[in-house]
Structure 1
Amino acid sequence: MNQLNREQLQLLEKAGFAFQKITQEQVLAIVRGEVPVEDLDDTSLVECLTVANLLYRGGFPLVSDYVYDFIFLAELKKRRPDHPFLQKVEPEPVALAKTVPLPVRMLSTEKAYEFKSVQRWAERIRKAADGIGVDFPSLLFRATPKLDGFAAYDDGERLYTRGDGRRGTDISRVFARGLQVAEGGKRGLGPGEIVVRRSYFQKHLARVYDNSRNFQASLIREKDLDPLAAEAIRQKGAVFFPFVLLPDWRGVWRELSENFETVIGDLWNRLDFDIDGIVLEILDERLKESMGATRHHHRWQIAYKKNTETARVKVIAVTPQTSRSGRVNPVAEVEPTRLSGALIRRVTVHHYGMVREKGVGPGSVIELSRSGEVIPKIEKVLVTAEPQLPESCPSCNSNLIWDSDYLRCIDNMNCPAQITHSIGHFFKTLGNIDGFGPASINRLYQHGVRSVYSIYTLSAGEYEKMGFGPRQSENMVAQLQRSRTEKIEDWRFLAAFGVYRMGPGNCEKLLSMFPLEKIFSLTREDVASIKGFKEKTADAVVEGMQAIFPLFTQLYELGFNLAKTPVAGYEENKFLPLQGKIIVFTGAMQQGSRQEMEKQAKLLGAKPGKSVTGKTDILVTGQRVGPAKLNKAKDAGIKIMNEQEYLEMIRNME
């Protein structure tokens, strides 16, 4: 197959997708493993991910969920763990109608493919529980099957698609067509999935549809249903299954950890529906609110997916590669081996300490698996060999030093790899500029261009003199201009400089406490006072900020269009009506998400809280609020306002 089929092409067209960096023939070659994903540049990899996601969610999958996670998505995580593609909920391929706000945010779920990852998740919960005084040993966990269906939310009046997690479309028509709630349930039970029974699909639909996901998409289309879809609804072969009605296991962490395989195995085959994992979550509402969520997933929840495929491969050579930070990373070149649909030729060894201690070199035999977040992962060394260790930096030929288990090049001022990778990191993190991939940056370096600032000062004529074509040169200058005029977040701009420990998340956290203009004068005490920044991190941040200050100043003065992060109560000489007030938002809000309301409250000087304490000033309630918070607030004499009362109050203040 060298072309996508008609249905797949139509789906991409409806979604407004157009191939730009790669062709559909190249996408198919990539998913067949003929082109290694590690050979793709970031733009091509994200374009391939976008195609795979749109086709999967539209019912015409190109690759399995497993291959998507562990070949394509894991490659992007390995290169750029803070890439914007990884920070958002994967969107539906087509907006079926005008989008509307969802009653609650519907996020994706963090994934784990090994028990060790689940243990790390539980340890994070333990620390969070200790932080708010919740007894972890008695904390209840819930495990439920993860349905492989079409995500939706039922508020009792309307049924919404998940959309992008914040806004979806109204598909209440499927209930009007007769769709039933599974298990004899009632309407209004919140999030769930539209699914088709496995037995019904095999008996009535398998000859027509390639897979159940393909059929599920046909149930919600606006046009009249085809007879097969209408009959599936009539016979309850297709239903809406609310998550609260799923069969489950409940118990404390000790019971879950000691009987993990049994718990997973019992739930995996409990339902007559396709499932692609087991969802684990905590039930304590106070702890849920305290842990919160990232832009992509809830921190109090994780999905365990089985992963058992392994392969034994022979190592041909171990090649050193110098990173942006100066670490020299070992890459094992292996005999081509097909694993989970991909042709594996290279695998990253954790560090040269492992190469030395485990005997990884030409002729050694290693066992690979698809587990964790790195693809593929070396599970063990089965046959040792003479370890292959570099004596000098492969980029600049400087001597290397041992830094714990790592070999490091310390000539950061003259090492080509460190300089070019730092430039590449800047443009990748900025995310609003094309044309400055590794090949272009290497050419610039070869012509004496050593900094991002120098790149911004070049004219089209100067680019031409370095071997770029006339049109390409003009486009590069135009892209640089666009990157300055197109609005981007100030935390993203700061993250682009690559300060150690300062990824996008920490940059946003820092700038939510101090404005950009003040951060270079911060002391280690200032930084350490921010929640999540320890003293060791604070030292590294202060040192890193001083190191980038000259380059930052040069670029900042070019006039980038930066959207400022709201700084809680910082604006000097400005009256803030909620200055110092601690406000807790609870329940489902109608005028915006809780996160949006907290952001607005910060602009007015408030400090949003996650739980009601004696220091809370105002409790703002939405819909479906449990009695615990209300009673606690009443007992403490805390002011309680509903959403409308609160909005009216701040309108009068402004």
Structure 2
Amino acid sequence: MNEVKQKIDHLRRVLDRLNHNYYVLNAPSAEDREYDRLMAELTALEAEHPEFDDPNSPTRRVGSDLTREFEQVRHRYPMLSLANTYSEEEVREFVARIDKETDTPAAYCCELKFDGTAISLTYENGRFVRAVTRGDGTVGDDVSANVRTIRSIPMNLMGEGWPAYMEVRGEIYMPHESFGRLNAERADIGEEPFANPRNAAAGTLKQQNSAVVARRGLDAVLYAVQADAPVAPSHYGTLQMLKTWGFKTSSAVRLCRSVDEIMEYIRHWDTERHALPYETDGAVIKVDDTKLQRDLGATAKAPRWAVAYKFKAEQASTRLVSVDFQVGRTGAVTPVANLEPVRLAGTTVKRASLHNAEQIELLDIRVGDTVLVEKGGEIIPKIVGVDLSRRPADSVPFRYITHCPECGTELVKEPDEAKHYCPNATGCPPQIVGRIVHYISRKAMNIEGLGDETVQLLYNNGLLGDIANLYDLEAEHLVPLERLGQKSAENIINSIAKSLQVPYSRVLFAIGIRYVGETTARKLAAAVPSIDALMRASREELLEVEEVGGKIADSIVAYFADPRNVAIIDRLRRAGVQLEAVQTEKLSESLAGRKIVISGTFEHFSRPELKELIERHSGTNQSSVSKTTDYLLAGAGIGPKKLETAEKLGVRIISEEDFMRMIGAKNTEESETLLKIQQPTLF
């Protein structure tokens, strides 16, 4: 009996850790199938042994994506989840049950199961009202401002025939192209990449800044309508109605009239899904007749008339030969598995991601093990399991490194981060080379002719030790080096000289402050228009800048607290690098001394354009409403907290038209013309 109790306790600890990784760290460490298997095993053991009952067991938890920062809204119609199946046998059992209960063979509507995050869109009289996450199925988070940025979701419906009130259900997802771009950006600023597009979509939807959401390229597919009465006699007909109203629906829908047709659909898409531009992890099988759906009803958690079939990720079995540790420019250490070559999803895989120490410990991965490898998100090979039956007798637990493999410095790990870091930013070779490579990149200083290999070559020959050394280079230093001749050397020197024209905002991105990406650098440059002012800025002042949170503010303060970084900035200054923003000509003093907060969306101008107009008419932009704020410039979809604070503090609320009159513009065309006057022309 003691062994049963130990097994139950072990399963509870594992599931608690998996839940924490998924819901808190946004970094899932096990596949859905494995999680479901562990949960089913624990559920069965607890049912057999009620004497070990625990009200805090993971089996008692109801999945929820609620976030305290968002207003919570109750669904008029509950958002249920779907029961999962993993085999043809289970699909046949589902169809057999439906046939038995309905006394006649039913038709089924088959759809792809998009791997994203569930959403409920409320429409009243054909107009978008709000968007709410699934939450706990009864109450969800209002993410309307973020959903408005998704262009495929209509704000006003087309056609006719929609109910006066309805909730349209669907999935918000991140296409592969957006996912790849986002992870590249996160890796570039030292952030942990998202494990898969689903987590990227969920994390994006919970952003507090809708401008960030708009840039990340989310999309949506809609597949159901909840209203007081059905909008069509069949589910297939409902999808057609959604399409006529302007919603994006799946093009991979098929009406099936037998279990064999259902399985043919599943087998087809299990292969063809790899060519899709988005992630799908299965197929959904729904009874097509809406009357039958109502008759079949639902359990407390899921409808009885629908089921999800989960595709099995393509896996391969091979031996783990060794583990390397790579150090990035921000000091992040990434373990990489070296494998005996194996074919997987049409390619030969020799290396796979191990993510971090916790992942290795969770799976108990050891060198010499036979491991299961699959392509996470159909993109990056990763180890998802170990074949314990083939573990060598002399196997020993894997010991994660404690010191940097490149410079020997003891590694550090922050409590809220998954990765270990090497803190030796100025003495660790791959960090030094990585920062130089980042500095010369196209989106940063755009220095042509210097690639990763050439930078490494210059570092190895003692010509580059930091980014400021670039401006010490001369053609004669480069000509003698391998693969570099006179012409190549001159082109590099000319490109370095041209980089002196790069504007301050891009320089700020290029110097490589951890967590400061392109967008954050632009926001900082606009709010703090010189590197000297940025050096003097306190944490509290930095937090006033749009898109700067505590982690970024702390990183900026720490960067400039290091005298070695300050010395590099001084050398860049002497070289002529742009370290302050180019001042645009003031158009008037009409807003002199006025502090203005902008919230919402506007008919004629974007928010950045309005901020520029405020500055060029001598006003000051503020990111949040306070007692020092003079005006709240309010557009459509204004943030409720800002509006409430403004009303409480007696801050005057003005419209876009009010603002135009205040700056002396007779109309928006005149303001648009003013915006174009003397715009700086920068490289």
Using the size of structure 2 for normalisation, the TM-score is 0.48
Whose radius of gyration is greater, 1 or 2? 2
Structure number with the bigger relative contact order (C-alpha 8 A, sep ≥ 6) is 1
Provide the TM-score with structure 1 as the length reference.
Answer: 0.49
